[in-house]
Chain A
Amino acid sequence: MYSRAYKTIVSAPPLLWVGLFLLLPYALMFAHSFWTVQDGVLVHHWNLSNYQKLLTNPLYAEVLFRTICIAGSVMLCSLLLGYPLAYYLSFHSGARKELLYQLVIVPLWVSYLVRGYAWKTILGSEGVLNGFLQYFHFTHEPVSFLLYSPFAVVLMLMHIYTPFVFLPIYASLEHIPRPLVEASQDLGASPTSTFFRVILPLSMPGLLAGATFAFVLSLGDFLAPLLVGGSSGTMIANIVQTLFGAVYDWPLGAAISVCILLITLSLLFFTQRLEKRWSFK
């Protein structure tokens, strides 16, 4: 159909892009993870010492485990918030659908940083929430666990990623033909039964996509822990950032990045398999 020259010209830019900005950096990162730093100088000497450090120093495992817990909590909370929201909008919002949809999307227009600082002013010891609690005498002293804690990180990430979870779920719910819901009720299934037997299975691809978004994006996040996490809320990306930006131990940072990449890729592989199982076209 198309000439060879045409195909080459059309496919060259994206291939170049992927090569230059994806494959090359990953290759460099991968190579770095097997090198070392001696007296502040990068030594191109191939070895596994970085990975040994990761396995032997319990700090890394601890932070990685905490990161996975936080990402998992964000995923769960966003699903618990995003799914009912999407369900309500898709099935029961009637004429307010457009408006509500816009309201869910609007936070995405606000800068990540601005929202981070907003949470600081809400959760801080002099913050809005503590002021409220003290004003109504729920407490006499500022509640300290609100800010600079894993809780604050989960809260902020959930706020940021819920729209990302909402969107694919909403899209999959909108694609469910309404006669299927009627058919289920017609056959004697109550609304609850209809939800679990028809709506939930058919919205599974959207749910999986949303869950993956929330988990993977949270896993690599370093701004939320930086802004509201404190020392107890440090995540793995903060360590990578410190290793690259402050300590200049690029090889160790690269080794951690390779680990995160492997976790993410295996997760994507897993959810893709699941999504195939739940698609019926």
Chain B
Amino acid sequence: MSSAAIPQPVSVDENVPLLEVREVAKRFGPREVLKHISLNIASGEFLTLLGESGSGKTTLLRLIAGFEQPTAGEIWMTGERLDTLPPYKRRVNTVFQNYALFPHLNVRENVAYGLRVQGAPKNEIPVRVDDALNMVKMSEFAGTRPSRLSGGQQQRVALARALVNRPQLLLLDEPLSALDANLRKQMQSELKALQREIGITFLFVTHDQEEAMALSDRIALLRDGVLEQVASPREIYAHPASAYTAQFIGQTNLLHGEIRRSIATCGALRWPLEEADAPALFSLRPETIRLCPDGKRQTNEVKFRASVRQQIYGGASELLEVDCGTGQLLRVRLPACGPLTGEHDFVFYIADAIRVAD
């Protein structure tokens, strides 16, 4: 895969979606796996469907590929109804979780499969297959059977086999989950670079939030068949819409409290907030809390005093668990600062306490 391509953020134009998922529902018997999902994917975008197992992310992928039929709703691609077409008539290709390479065909024949069955011109096939194998650096294995390849190599072949057909949309079903950690990281960056280089729209399914953050232009977080939030990684991390999102993506402190007379109160923490009186839930990321050695605070900050209960050294940063009194525990991530004990003053910006839905 290309090493030269420097990832550039894609401007996501929601007005011309490549794929439109309209109010799609899917039930298996009594189980409602997807509950009226609507989602647009822009051309050239890298969108990740993120969710726990059983959240419906793979089902949504299979609906788009055509292996399942929606119970309700429609799927459109470039102005054409997609969900009524059989899978072999969709300009969509899939990289399967366990690669699903044909064991009776060698690498070259596997990659050529799509072109052959669709009757591509005979003289064109070898050229395109060689290009695709070059792209994933697997040319030297052209004559090898898949069973002789390592997981990472099979992964590359599966990618070439899908991309050689120049699909409008590439679906990837947890393609990296079978790889060990190091290879996974390497494949992540290669995948990202490749996607930028060829400009094909990727719809990527994973349960790994770090992977989703590293790869995606946008993340669609699924929870029990419902889209919890669809936003860019930065947006979804900085402004999680719900407590679930805040906890699922990154670490956070969830503060239960209430707003009364424009004051938010969460245990020992209080700060002014111009909002209507109501119970409230806030997400406060551990790294937004800082030490306040001189004990002074700005007007846009909240200061509190807490004792260090636990300190976990993590190289560049340290994770503290602090007690604000009355047993209210907060996690604080600080730049490496040496051992801390006893009571200290901490501050955070009011704006960093994000109000989230329960």
| A interface, CB within 8 angstroms of B | 177, 179-180, 182-190, 193, 197-198, 201-202, 278, 280-281
Q: How far is the CA of A188 from the CA of B114 in the complex (A)?
A: 6
Contact between B100 and A187, CB atoms less than 8 A apart: no
Which of B70-78, B85-93, B275-283 lies at the interface with chain A?
B85-93
Q: Given A185-B87, A187-B114, is A202 in contact with B161 using a C-beta cutoff of 8 Å? A: no
Assess whether B165 is interfacial by the CB under 8 Å rule. Answer: yes
Contact between A187 and B93, CB atoms less than 8 A apart: yes
Closest A residue, CB atoms, query B97: A179
Assess whether B145 is interfacial by the CB under 8 Å rule. Answer: yes
Contact between A187 and B117, CB atoms less than 8 A apart: yes
Contact between A187 and B165, CB atoms less than 8 A apart: yes
Q: Given A187-B161, A187-B165, A189-B117, is A180 in contact with B102 using a C-beta cutoff of 8 Å? A: yes
Q: Given A182-B67, A182-B87, A280-B145, is A188 in contact with B117 using a C-beta cutoff of 8 Å? A: yes
Contacts of A280 in B (CB 8 A): 103-104, 145, 147
Q: How far is the CA of A240 from the CA of B97 in the complex (A)?
A: 58
Contact between A187 and B147, CB atoms less than 8 A apart: no
Task: Apart from A188-B88, A188-B89, list 14 A-B contacts with CB within 8 A.
Answer: A177-B98, A180-B100, A180-B103, A182-B96, A182-B100, A183-B96, A185-B66, A185-B88, A186-B66, A186-B92, A187-B114, A190-B86, A190-B88, A281-B147
A-B pairs with lowest CB-CB distance, top 5: A187-B114, A179-B100, A189-B117, A183-B100, A280-B103
Assess whether B46 is interfacial by the CB under 8 Å rule. Answer: no
Contacts of B322 in A (CB 8 A): none
Assess whether B94 is interfacial by the CB under 8 Å rule. Answer: yes
Contacts of A183 in B (CB 8 A): 94, 96, 100-102
| Beta-carbon contacts under 8 Å, B48-106 to A | 65-67, 86-89, 92-94, 96-98, 100-104
Across the interface, B104 reaches (CB within 8 A) one of A185, A186, A202, namely A202
Contact between A186 and B94, CB atoms less than 8 A apart: yes
Closest A residue, CB atoms, query B112: A187
Contacts of A187 in B (CB 8 A): 88, 93, 113-114, 117-118, 161-162, 165
Closest A residue, CB atoms, query B89: A188
Contacts of B101 in A (CB 8 A): 183
* B85 shortest CB reach to chain A, Å: 11
Contact between A185 and B86, CB atoms less than 8 A apart: yes
Contact between B88 and A189, CB atoms less than 8 A apart: yes
| B interface, CB within 8 angstroms of A | 65-67, 86-89, 92-94, 96-98, 100-104, 113-114, 117-118, 145, 147, 161-162, 165
Contacts of A184 in B (CB 8 A): 102, 113, 117
* A127 shortest CB reach to chain B, Å: 47
Contact between A202 and B103, CB atoms less than 8 A apart: yes
Contacts of B100 in A (CB 8 A): 177, 179-180, 182-183
Contact between B87 and A198, CB atoms less than 8 A apart: no
Q: How far is the CA of A182 from the CA of B145 in the complex (A)?
A: 20
* B10 shortest CB reach to chain A, Å: 25
Q: Given A185-B87, A185-B88, A188-B88, is A179 in contact with B96 using a C-beta cutoff of 8 Å? A: yes
Contacts of A186 in B (CB 8 A): 65-66, 87-88, 92-94, 162
Q: How far is the CA of A82 from the CA of B145 in the complex (A)?
A: 30
Contact between A188 and B165, CB atoms less than 8 A apart: yes
Q: How far is the CA of A151 from the CA of B104 in the complex (A)?
A: 39
Contacts of B102 in A (CB 8 A): 180, 183-184, 198
Q: How far is the CA of A228 from the CA of B262 in the complex (A)?
A: 99
Contacts of B93 in A (CB 8 A): 186-187
* A94 shortest CB reach to chain B, Å: 13
Q: How far is the CA of A214 from the CA of B344 in the complex (A)?
A: 85
What are 8 sample pairs from A and B whose C-beta atoms fall under 8 A apart?
A: A180-B100, A184-B117, A186-B92, A202-B104, A278-B104, A280-B104, A281-B103, A281-B147
Closest A residue, CB atoms, query B94: A186
* A172 shortest CB reach to chain B, Å: 12
Q: How far is the CA of A188 from the CA of B116 in the complex (A)?
A: 9
Closest A residue, CB atoms, query B92: A186
Q: How far is the CA of A173 from the CA of B147 in the complex (A)?
A: 19
* B158 shortest CB reach to chain A, Å: 9
* A189 shortest CB reach to chain B, Å: 4
* B192 shortest CB reach to chain A, Å: 23
Closest A residue, CB atoms, query B114: A187
